[in-house]
Structure 1
Amino acid sequence: MQLKYEQSFLRAAKKVQQLTNEKDIEKFPLPIKQVIKEDDGVFLLTYKQTAEINKCTINDVARFGKSNEAFHIQINGMNFIIYNDEMYYKRLRFTLAHEYGHLKLNHSGTSLNHTKTFRDTMRVKLEEYEANTFASCLLFPLNLRYKYRDYMSIPEIADLFQISESAASIAMKILDEHLHNGLEEVISVYEHEQFSTYISYLDELLQDKIEYLQSINEEYTNWFHEEYENYKQEEQDRMYKEVMDFNLIHFTGY
C-alpha cells in the first residue's frame, strides 16, 4: 500500500509541475483564487452564491455537498468548486487548492447518491491523498522547500506561503525523508532546474523500488516453487516407503 501512496505523490507532483509550466507560475504566496478563475474549465462559487442561485439556505448547500468547507461538482459538463468563504484564510487557500487538485487529476470521486463499496473507499482514500499532495506542492513547491530548508522556521514558512503551520511542517518532513533517501546527491545546483530534478529523483526512486519489489517477488516465487517441488518429492518418498514397508510386513509377517 505504501508504494501506491508514493505513486500518488509523484502523480500529483507531476501535475503541479505541468500546471506551473503552463501558467508560468512564479509568484508566491500563490494567488490560488486567481489561478482557478483563469482556468476556463473551472468555476468558483461561494456557499452563499450557490444558496441564492438555488433559493435555499447555506446549510442546505453544506448538507448537499456533505462538507462545511468545500466540494466540487460537475453540472452539464462544467466543473464547479463550491466553497465556504467564511473559513480561516489559510485553511481556505489549502481547501481550494485541494478541490482544484481533484479536478486537475480527473478523480472519479463518488456520486452523492451512491453507496460506497470497499473498493470505492480505498480509491477515494488515495484520491484524497493525491489532492492533498497537489495542494501542498502547488502552494509550497518542492524546489522552494529545498531552497528555504536551512534558514526559515516552520512559522516563517507558513507566513511566507500563507499555509498553516501544520501543512508547512508536513511538507518539510517529506523533504527531510527525500533528503535522507538521496535527494541531496542529485538535485541541481541551478535553482531554476530544481523542480524538474526533484521530480526526476522521485521518478527514479519509485522505479528503483518497483524493480526491487519485482525482483523480491520473483525470488520468492522461485523459492516457493523449489520448496514445493522438494515437499512433493519428500511426500512421494514417504508414501513409497510406507507402501514398501506394508508389503514387506504383509508378505513376510514381520
Structure 2
Amino acid sequence: MLKNQIEKKALEVLNSLETLEAPIPIKSIIKSFGIKLSPYDLGEDVSGVLVIDNDNCKIGYNSTESYSRQRFTLAHELGHYILHKNKQQEVFVDNITYMFRKTSSKNKDYKIEMEANQFAAAILMPKSLIEKELEKLDDGFVNDHNLISELSKKFKVSQIAMTYRLNNLGYFYDF
C-alpha cells in the first residue's frame, strides 16, 4: 500500500469520528471499532498483539513500556486492523527486535509492519495538526531539538517518533 493511501485511511478514521485535535485519543478510537484493550506485561521483546477472531478483536499492549510507546503500539495495532484485517492472518505480534533486524524491504512481514508504523504515525500525528502547531510557533529562532520536544509533548509521542514523522513529512532534509 502506498504512503499516501495510508495517510488517507488514517485521516478518514479521524474525520469519521470527528477527532482532529492533539493529542489524539487513540484508546477511544480503538474502542469505537469494538476492539477490546488489555494491558499485559509482555516482556522486553513484545510491544503489542492484535488478535482477530471473526468479529471479536482484542489488542494486548505492553503495560511496562512508556506511555508514549504504549500509544504508538496501540495505533500500530489499529493500523494492522484497518489495513490488514481482511488478509488471512489472524494474529499480529509486534516484536521490538524484529524492526532492528537486517531484513529485506521486499519481505512481506517487513512491509506489513512498515505500513502499520506509517498508519500509527499518521493517526497520532496528522499532517494537518502538525502544520497547525508549526504555525503557532513564534517567528523567532526555534532549534530542531526544541521543536521536536514541544511537538512530542503536545502529541504525546516519543521524540524519536516525532523526529521520524517530521522527516517523513519533509521538514528535515539531513536526517
Give the shorter-chain TM-score range: 0.7 to 0.9
TM-score normalised by the chain length of structure 2? 0.74
Is 1:14 aligned with 2:8? Answer: yes
Aligned match of 2:129 in 141, 144, 167? 144
Following TM superposition, where does structure 1 have runs of at least 4 consecutive aligned residues deviating by more than 6 angstroms?
Answer: none
For structure 2, which runs of at least 5 residues remain unmatched after alignment?
92-102
Cα distance per residue 1:17-65 (max 9 Å; x no partner): 210121111232111112111222x221222xxxxxxxxxx5xxx48xx
Q: Which AA in structure 2 matches 1:164?
A: S
**Paired residues, number:** 151
The 3-state SS of whatever aligns with 2:29 is helix
Higher relative CO (CA 8 A, sep ≥ 6), structure 1 or 2? 2
Bigger CA radius of gyration = 1
By how many angstroms is 1:15 displaced? 0.7
**CA pair 178-19 structure 1, distance change in 2 beyond 3 A:** farther
Where in structure 2 are the equivalents of 1:86-235 lying within 5 Å? 86-107=64-85, 108=87, 110=89, 122-149=107-134, 151=137, 153-176=147-170
Q: Which has the higher helix share?
A: 1
Aligned match of 1:32 in 26, 29, 39? 26
Q: Is the 8 A contact 1:109 1:124 kept in 2?
A: no
Q: Is the 8 A contact 1:8 1:129 kept in 2?
A: no
For structure 1, which runs of at least 5 residues remain unmatched after alignment?
1-6, 48-57, 113-117, 180-254
Q: Is the 8 A contact 2:53 2:90 kept in 1?
A: no
Output the CA distance in 2 between the equivalents of 1:85 and 1:31.
17
The 3-state SS of whatever aligns with 1:18 is helix
Q: Could you say which residue in structure 2 is the equivalent of 1:70?
A: 48
By how many angstroms is 1:130 displaced? 1.0
Q: Which AA in structure 2 matches 1:97?
A: A
**CA pair 175-38 structure 1, distance change in 2 beyond 3 A:** same
Aligned match of 1:46 in 39, 44, 50? 39
Cα distance per residue 1:105-139 (max 9 Å; x no partner): 12547577xxxxx99x7222111111111111111
Identity in percent:
28
Q: Which has the higher strand share?
A: 2
Cα distance per residue 1:209-247 (max 9 Å; x no partner): xxxxxxxxxxxxxxxxxxxxxxxxxxxxxxxxxxxxxxx
